Structure 1
């Protein structure tokens, strides 16, 4: 299991912030905290998605595979940005890696771990023989763990939830995303309220499953 740390730059009162931003454009009193909160709830219920983009989320995501982080990067709506552990400067002689859950027998584990060990030894030998670390790093597998600092807004995360909370999404991504929203809920009470309102798999929003191969949670569209 990886680790996600929600950074203090993350908006602590997302619903109220939406209400304050909307209130400015509606000519309302934004000094009243209760009215701001209620206005924010109204925006959410009315699906006024533009205000979602004012809510900032910054997090450290650590211990997940480079493969799943590549998929995380595909959600680029709302101009998110990120930094990732360097394969040019970080020493990966003994890198940590993810073992898929379908690898269960001792023989399978041996094959998998031996392949990783071979890559690890090769990296060390190449660097000791004079090959630049940035070039030896071409051998690194997508199964190695990595660390990123990620910044995005709620609208981007809502879009992500529609795809990645689906039962048919890649298993590691589902684990990553569920941990992500778990940590957001621990960040403040407003996140506890906001998340179940807006972060749902697409079938829960549509009322049916649009996938060709359904998990059966919702009926498929006829």
Structure 2
């Protein structure tokens, strides 16, 4: 798996500051003075803590995810407030490249798994060679087949995705992908990456039905 930040909003702190101040200032954005970075950070943190999250939508990040499984991307694209461009199995003849979970290796099923992958891709190739279009031959391909996808999310949605997918109970591959997305954001803006945490960190308790133990579950008793 490889995750790369290929684009993001220039000067994101300034953009967030102007968006936030516009809501409460009689001055137009073009006439506002830009304060120190530390003051901007305090304002953004205050806006976030108060739940005024629409301000965060003015900053976006675009990532390239390479060598991830179709099983993972099927989870990722459920986050609808984002834009996706994924490698097409209709127009691209797929290579025999798959993601293998560690559990399959550790439990002694890797050899059997590999044989099934070999058999599936052999049939896939034979069908194409015998005139079956890629768009039909792809029906045999497994969820493990690798894919590439470009993803654009605004900061508000990225925080939401991180809250769900950085949870220790999230599926391992998407958790790893989102962790790498956070790392890419941290390279360009450590302050904004600090908002990309599991929900329990922000809430102070675990909202899941079954907790991993990292945070206590919220008590429903009076």
Same fold (TM > 0.5): yes
Q: Which runs of 5+ in 2 are unaligned?
A: none
Structure 1 residue 126: Cα displacement: 0.3
Report the secondary structure of 2:147's partner residue. strand
- CA gap of 1:37–1:13, structure 2 versus 1, over 3 A, is farther
Q: Which runs of 5+ in 1 are unaligned?
A: none
Are the aligned partners of 1:166 and 1:201 in contact in 2 as well (CA < 8 Å)? yes
Partner of 1:81: 83
1:196-207 matched pairs, under 5 angstroms: 196=194, 198-207=195-204
Partner of 2:153: 152
How much is the aligned-residue C-alpha RMSD, in angstroms? Answer: 2.0
- CA gap of 1:53–1:140, structure 2 versus 1, over 3 A, is same
Structure 1 residue 28: Cα displacement: 6.0
Structure 1 residue 41: Cα displacement: 3.6
1:111-122 matched pairs, under 5 angstroms: 111-122=112-123
- CA gap of 1:171–1:123, structure 2 versus 1, over 3 A, is same
Q: Note if 1:51 corresponds to 2:18.
A: no
Which deviations, in whole Å up to 9, do the C-alpha atoms of 1:9-43 show, x marking residues without a partner? x1142222101223344226656443577345413
1:1-222 matched pairs, under 5 angstroms: 2-8=1-7, 10-25=8-23, 26=25, 27=27, 32-35=33-36, 38-39=39-40, 41-47=42-48, 48-77=52-81, 80-92=82-94, 94-105=95-106, 107-186=108-187, 188=188, 191-196=189-194, 198-222=195-219
TM-score (norm 2): 0.88
Structure 1 residue 106: Cα displacement: 8.3
Structure 1 residue 200: Cα displacement: 1.6
Structure 1 residue 158: Cα displacement: 0.7
The whole-number CA distance in structure 2 between the counterparts of 1:88 and 1:37 is 50
- Count of matched residue pairs: 213
Structure 1 runs of 4+ aligned residues shifted over 6 Å read none
Are the aligned partners of 1:17 and 1:36 in contact in 2 as well (CA < 8 Å)? no
